[in-house]
Structure 1
Amino acid sequence: MTDDARRIEGNGPWPHTMRLQRFLARAGVASRRGSENLMTAGRVSVNGVVACELGTKIDVDRDVVEVDGMRVSWPAEAVYLMLHKPSGYLTTMSDPQGRPTVAELVPCDRYPGLFPVGRLDMDTTGLLLFTTDGDLGQALLHPSRHVEKTYLALVDGSMSDRELEPLRKGIVLDDGPCQPARCSLLETVPPDAGCSFKRVRGTSLVEIDIHEGRKNQVKRMLGAVHHPVLELHRPAFGPLRLNGLASGSWRELERAELDALRECSCTVKKQATENNR
């Protein structure tokens, strides 16, 4: 078993070696692309030697990395937290246009290198996972390993259960077919969902579970069956639930939640491997 695999299972240390640009990104210096730009500009050194080659690898435990002469520290342990994202925030850690981002809602100063696992649209609310663990993040988001994500959608029009059949079978969108989705009509919002949709006459409430993560996917799926989404909320990501977390608030994952998330990523990976045989 590799060091990465051990760490995903929670049984081992951080990997001893990794690419320099990945180290810089995980330490919160810049994005992966921004870290590469720092390297090619000659602003990064390893043990006093300028490191311009993008393939440079370092020993996390032993090498001294500096950017513009300032030493870059490495977090002692990976961090995992969930945010109840409110509407009006971009799922990015910075925005050149100065729009509000989710980085303003999580403790980036306390935990350098935090990044969101996946994304929610600016007007979509709900559970957004953050971590400094790039391996687990990749395992959860890899196209062949997407975990189940649950959404509640308030849609326009009085919808019948029969109209959900195309989504259950796997509807085809302009960028290709979707995997079959589990979906149903609800009379009321579940009490632990963490949203307060106001149903009025001529609207319907749909719960939908998908495994993919294409841009605006749920909105496009429901729009394709002629029921545009008015409001969208994600109460669950894999085994994680908001469970009363207030909008705009965050908390670190509990040990049981983290264990369930790791188990989920490993189970999905195993299933994907078996399906590809």
Structure 2
Amino acid sequence: MTDDARRIEGNGPWPHTMRLQRFLARAGVASRRGSENLMTAGRVSVNGVVVCELGTKIDVDRDVVEVDGMHVSWPAEAVYLMLHKPSGYLTTMSDPQGRPTVAELVPCDRYPGLFPVGRLDMDTTGLLLFTTDGDLGQALLHPSRHVEKTYLALVDGSMSDQELEPLRKGIVLDDGPCQPARCSLLETVPPDAGCSFKRVRGTSLVEIDIHEGRKNQVKRMLGAVHHPVLELHRPAFGPLRLNGLASGSWRELERAELDALRECSCTVKKQATENNR
């Protein structure tokens, strides 16, 4: 057996080894689950050998890893930044139809492997987190309990507080019951929210906090109580706030923000472990 083959099997003499899907996630290729999907699809090779078996270990310093023929490098230092996403951009790094994507708004050339954590609909604005740290991205989006996200929704119709009760109790959608949401009616948009909704007669402004991340969840929740969403904005993701960041602009996270985000991700991991006992 060659040295390369032994390293692929994880039996080599070098100490800096890890599972291939973890390496891909840490390199910012995709989340841990996304990296596993790339492997099982036969898109990942190590030293020229396609590797489909989950759990395969590699030597980070010596093995050559490629995805779709493109070399994957171990990042010197992970990057974390937030974008104030404007309307009209898809939350994806590329689009085969040539539509505008958030990749056009962040420094992908400067930070290879940058990817969005979660998504916002094309017409939804607000805070979108980007990183090259696949492990953190995976923790923040763990399916058992997502990080709290705050939304402001301008909805059709004059809404009463009583109409929000089904959302607070956990409304049932076509894909199952939602976790209880914290929500309230607002008279005006908070000054630091970063949006400029214009309320007119016959509309209402709702603030809603959710922990899940289903597709179009907030829109579907409010639609289920007969108040369709006209505009939707996310001013906060976990401990992160836009705090005056202009629409279409990005900035790197400050140390305190990153520490708070990591603490939040550790809480998610702990809760997930307890839920699986």
Q: TM-score, normalised by structure 1?
A: 0.83
**Mapping of residues 117-156 of structure 1, within 5 Å:** 117-156=117-156
Q: Which one is further off, 86-95 or 10-19?
A: 10-19
CA distance in 2, matches of 1:49, 1:206: 53
Question: 2:52 is paired with a residue of what secondary structure?
Answer: coil
Q: CA distance change for structure 1 residues 242 and 4 in 2, over 3 Å: closer, same or farther?
A: farther
Measured at CA, do residues 31 and 200 of structure 1 come closer, stay the same or move farther in structure 2, by a change above 3 Å? same
8 Å CA contact 2:19, 2:56 repeated in 1: yes
Please state how far the C-alpha of 1:107 moved relative to its aligned partner: 1.0
Question: For the Cα contact (< 8 Å) 1:20–1:58, is it kept in 2?
Answer: yes
Task: Compute the displacement of 1:268 (Å).
Answer: 2.8
Looking at structure 2, the residues matched to 5 and 211 of structure 1 have their Cα atoms a distance apart, in angstroms, of 44
Q: Which runs of 5+ in 1 are unaligned?
A: none
Per-residue deviation at 1:262?
A: 0.7
Secondary structure class of the residue paired with 1:163:
helix
Deviation per CA, 1:44-71, whole angstroms, max 9, x where unpaired? 7645667676764322223234679875
* CA deviation string 1:215-268 (max 9, x = no partner): 100000000111000000000000000011111111111110010001111123
**Aligned-partner Cα distance in 2 for 1:199–1:214:** 27
CA contact (8 A) 1:4 1:14 kept: no
Change (3 A) 1:263 1:161: same
Alpha-carbon contact 2:4-2:47 (below 8 Å) kept? no
Q: What residue ranges of structure 2 are gaps of 5+ in the alignment?
A: none
SS state at 1:126 partner? strand
Q: What's the CA shift for 1:118?
A: 0.6
- Distance of aligned partners of 1:77 and 1:240 in 2 relative to their CA distance in 1, 3 Å threshold: same
- Aligned match of 1:22: 22
User: Which residues of 2 match residues 29-68 of structure 1 at below 5 A?
Assistant: 46-47=46-47, 56-65=56-65
Distance 1:256 1:132, change over 3 A: same
Q: Cα–Cα, structure 1 residues 236 and 15, in superposed 2: closer, same or farther, change >3 Å?
A: farther
Residues 2, 269 of structure 1: alpha-carbon distance in 2 compared, 3 angstrom cutoff? farther
Deviation at 1:21, TM superposition (A): 6.2
- Partner Cα distance (1:197, 1:60) in 2: 49
Measured at CA, do residues 19 and 194 of structure 1 come closer, stay the same or move farther in structure 2, by a change above 3 Å?
same
Moved over 2 A (4+): 1-57, 61-74, 268-277
Q: Alpha carbons of 1:202 and 1:63: their partners in 2 closer, same or farther (altered >3 Å)?
A: same
Assess if the C-alpha contact under 8 Å between 1:152 and 1:205 holds in 2.
Answer: yes
CA distance in 1, matches of 2:190, 2:138: 30
Q: Deviations over 1:136-179 (max 9, x none)?
A: 11111111121100000000011111110110011111111011
Q: Which secondary structure does the structure 2 equivalent of 1:95 belong to?
A: coil
**CA–CA distance in 2 between the matches of 1:4 and 1:175?**
46
Query: For this pair of structures, how many residues does the alignment match?
Result: 277
Over the residues paired in the alignment, what is the CA RMSD in angstroms? 6.3
Is 162-171 or 28-37 further displaced after alignment?
Answer: 28-37
- 1:233 match: secondary structure: strand
Instruction: Render the CA deviation track for 1:162-214: whole Å, top value 9, x for unaligned.
Output: 11011001111111101100000000000000000001111000000000000
Superposed displacement of residue 132, structure 1: 1.1
The separation in 2 between residues aligned to 1:195 and 1:6, in whole angstroms, is 55
Contact 1:26–1:114 (Cα < 8 Å) also in 2: no
Check 1:19–1:231 CA distance in 2 against 1; reply closer, same or farther (3 A cut): same
Q: What TM-score do the two structures reach when normalised by structure 2?
A: 0.83
Q: Secondary structure at the match of 1:164?
A: helix
